[in-house]
Each structure stands twice: as C-alpha cells, then as structure tokens.
Amino acid sequence: METTNIKAYGNQSAEAPLKNLNIDRRKPTPHDVEIEILFCGVCHSDLHTARSEWGPTIYPCVPGHEIVGKVKSVGTHVSKFKVGDTVGIGCIVDSCRECQYCKDDLEQYCEPGMTGTYNSPDKNLPGNPTFGGYSERIVVDENYVLRIPDNMDLASAAPLLCAGITTYSPLHHWQVGPGKKVGIVGIGGLGHMGIKIAKAMGAHVVAFTTSESKFAEAKRLGADEVVLSKDEEQMAAYRGKLHFILDAVSAQHDVNAYLALLRVDGSLALVGAPEHPLPISAFSVIVGRKSFAGSAIGGIKETQEMLDFCAEHNLAADIEMIDIQSINEAYERLLKGDVKYRFVIDMKSLKSN
Ligand code: NAP
Ligand code: ZN
Ligand code: ZN
C-alpha cells in the first residue's frame, strides 16, 4: 500500500519522553477521508498508553484520540464528506463491521476488537500500529469520521471526541435525567464533561473532588453540590443518597467509599482506568443490591448524537491550549490533577518543528 511520510510526536519506549518523529500514513483509499489535524485533546489514556501502564504498548507510540480537523481530500467512493468539511476522529478508526455489536452501533465492543486510533495493529499497514492525533494528518474510513456541528469552537470541541462520549454514553445508558441524583467523581477532563452533560440531561449533580481549587469552582461547571472527598464528614452526608455514580478517577482510590453513597439498586460505573486493580468489599454491593459496572467510550452513532447534543446545549470543554513541544510537561501536570480541565494541542505548533 502506498504511504506518505509525515511529522508526528511520540515516544519509543515507556520511559522515553515524547519527541519529534516521522510516521507513514496510507494514501487515502476509495473509502477514506484524509484530514489535516488542527487540534488534538490530551486524554489521560494517552499518558497511560505512552508509558505502557495498561500492558505492553507497541512503539513508536503516537497518542491522541480527540482530533478535530479539516478534510483535505476524499477517496472516490466517499459520500458523507467533502474537501473543507470540519470533522472529528475519536477513539475508534475501524472495527469488523460484521459482528452483532458493530451492527448495533456498539463498535467499541466489537467482538474481534475495534481498531483504536492509536496503539492497535493497523489492518492496512500490517506490522505497524495505528498512530493517533499528535501528527499532521490522519486517514480514516468515512464510516468512522464524525461531523463537528457548525457553531462549535473547534479547540474546545476536540475533547468531546473522547471525554465527551465516555461520559455521555454511561449517563445515557443508566438513564440519568430529571429526578435522579448523580455523583461525578474526579473532576478532570472526563469528570468536568460528566458534570456538564449530566446537568444538561436534567439530573441533580453532585461533584466529588480531591482538589480544593476545583471545589470552589465545580458549581460554575454545573454541579448543584460539591463534596471534598477527603473530608469524611462531607462524604457521610451523602450515604445512600445517589441513584448513579460516574467514577472518572485515573489513579488508585477507594471505590467502596463511593458504593456506600448509592441508594438501593444504584449503580456505580467506572470509566477511569487506573493501572492497578481496585479492591471491592463484598458488602459494598451486597447491602443495597448495588451494581459495580464499567463503560468504554461510545459507538460512532452515539458519538455523533453526543456532538449534536453538546451543540444544542452549548456544551464544550474548558481547555488550556498548549504547543506540542510542551506535551511532556503537560503529562506531569495531568498526573498532579493540575489542569482545568483539558489540555488541547494547537497542532500548528508541530509544523514549526
Ligand atoms: P484526568 O484529566 O487526569 O482526570 C483524572 C481526575 O482524577 C483528576 O483530575 C483528579 O480529580 C482525580 N484523581 C487523580 N488522581 C487521583 C487520586 N490519586 N485519588 C483520587 N482522585 C484522583 O484524566 P481523564 O483524561 O479525565 O481520564 C480519567 C481516566 O479515565 C483515566 O484513567 C483514563 O485513562 C480513563 N479513560 C477511560 C475511558 C473509557 O472508555 N472508559 C475513556 C477515556 C479515558 P480531582 O482533582 O477532582 O480529585
Ligand atoms: Zn481518551
Ligand atoms: Zn465487530
């Protein structure tokens, strides 16, 4: 298959910092859309993957799955997009398209496995991993390309492609809405979108944070109440009060303390993916017939639905724009919970390298 060599930013081992490197992208085939990348959000999954925290990563690793850009060219059979359109790519760039889950628009649970935007075996270029959005351009089959609604600011729309859909999908699945008290735990990139989306769905939102500085401003994001989770007295006031909890914490924490806050038959869905297992006491779920669940991103159709929902409700991420050259420093700040609330890379900066 013909390829083009382009600029990217990535690393060669778990311990190595990210730096300039060159990668090969396939030339667009008849069903492909070629996208010039304008902005790319920085998800904590980028960091987990770059550092092999979820098992061995395939190197070189070029992260980035919150991509917004302009269509540069389209293959001869592409019917959904044209040159100049503003589009997004999230976490999925392909799947088997045949299994029941793919047919049901749940490509994230594809039986043989979806192709992730980065660090998946690339079916088109055997022997290579897929490379993500920390790069000049990306080439994706039109069925996995999203349309960015017209009225959106492009940089603050980028984080919707992962942080937005990963919170929207479980909030929708567990029927969050009016009359429901919902907890959002961990106010980072995902959590801050969780607050905004749950509020827009009509729920009563309680934000749980370990950061004093976020405590003061979580209400601005849409939370009705805010709890400093380190304070046992504040936590105790919510025992048995919540219908649903979305847990978006990236590191070790005590899930039992949150299961205790659920009402009978309540569910806690984990979207945060810490490196190590989280111990659960049997009685945390037995007493109160509670469910401890999880949820992965969302399918392509649901991602488009989420983008349209955000446009309709005027929702987008609160971002801090960075140049690609600051990515290693941004990862260190992400580890400290020191970002309000999502880093977005201005991909123009890659060109100046
Ligand atoms: P993030 O921006 O770094 O936010 C994580 C938040 O967790 C922090 O802001 C902090 O919130 C809290 N936190 C961090 N360390 C903590 C600790 N030791 N104890 C308690 N709380 C802590 O990360 P993100 O991009 O939102 O991603 C969150 C997690 O979701 C990551 O593990 C990521 O890989 C995962 N993820 C999963 C999916 C999926 O499909 N399930 C998709 C995307 C991302 P406070 O300051 O408010 O306490
Ligand atoms: Zn992500
Ligand atoms: Zn499938």
All domains of the chain in start order, with CATH: 3-162+298-352 (3.90.180.10), 163-294 (3.40.50.720)
Ligand nearest to the CA of 110: 3
Please name every residue paired with 112 in a beta bridge, in sequence order, or none if there are none: none
Output the CA angle 84-156-92, nearest 5 degrees. 70
Minimal-distance CA residue to ligand 1 atom 30: 272
Alpha-carbon distance of 248 to 297, in angstroms, equals 12
What is residue 6's predicted lDDT score, i.e. its pLDDT? 98
Q: Nearest CA to 117 among 169, 46, 193, 38?
A: 46
Helices and strands (H, E) in the chain, number of each type? 12, 17
Ligand nearest to the CA of 66: 2
Minimal-distance CA residue to ligand 1 atom 36: 272
Q: Nearest CA to 47 among 335, 337, 344, 278?
A: 335
How remote is the CA of residue 28 from the centroid of ligand 1, in Å?
A: 35
Pick the atom of ligand 1 nearest to 43's CA. 25
Pick the atom of ligand 1 nearest to 250's CA. 32
| pLDDT tens track for 274-284 | 999 999 999 99
Ligand nearest to the CA of 89: 2
Pick the atom of ligand 1 nearest to 47's CA. 34
How remote is the CA of residue 90 from the centroid of ligand 2, in Å?
A: 8
Output the CA angle 307-102-110, nearest 5 degrees. 100
What is residue 216's predicted lDDT score, i.e. its pLDDT? 84
Minimal-distance CA residue to ligand 1 atom 10: 186
Minimal-distance CA residue to ligand 1 atom 22: 249
Q: How many CA atoms lie within 13 A of 44 on its CB side?
A: 25
How remote is the CA of residue 103 from the centroid of ligand 3, in Å?
A: 7
How remote is the CA of residue 297 from the centroid of ligand 3, in Å?
A: 15
Q: How many CA atoms lie within 13 A of 194 on its CB side?
A: 30
Ligand 1: residue of 48, 51, 53, 190 to mutate (most ligand atoms within 8 A of CB) is 190
Per-position pLDDT tens, the chain of length 353: 899 999 999 999 999 999 999 999 999 999 999 999 999 999 999 999 999 999 999 999 999 999 999 999 999 999 999 999 999 999 999 999 999 999 999 999 999 999 999 999 999 999 999 999 999 999 999 999 999 999 899 999 999 999 999 999 999 999 999 999 999 999 999 999 999 999 999 999 999 999 999 988 899 999 999 999 999 999 999 999 999 999 999 999 999 999 999 999 999 999 999 999 999 999 999 999 999 999 999 999 999 999 999 999 999 999 999 999 999 999 999 999 999 999 999 999 999 86
What is residue 353's predicted lDDT score, i.e. its pLDDT? 66
How remote is the CA of residue 200 from the centroid of ligand 1, in Å?
A: 21
Minimal-distance CA residue to ligand 1 atom 29: 272
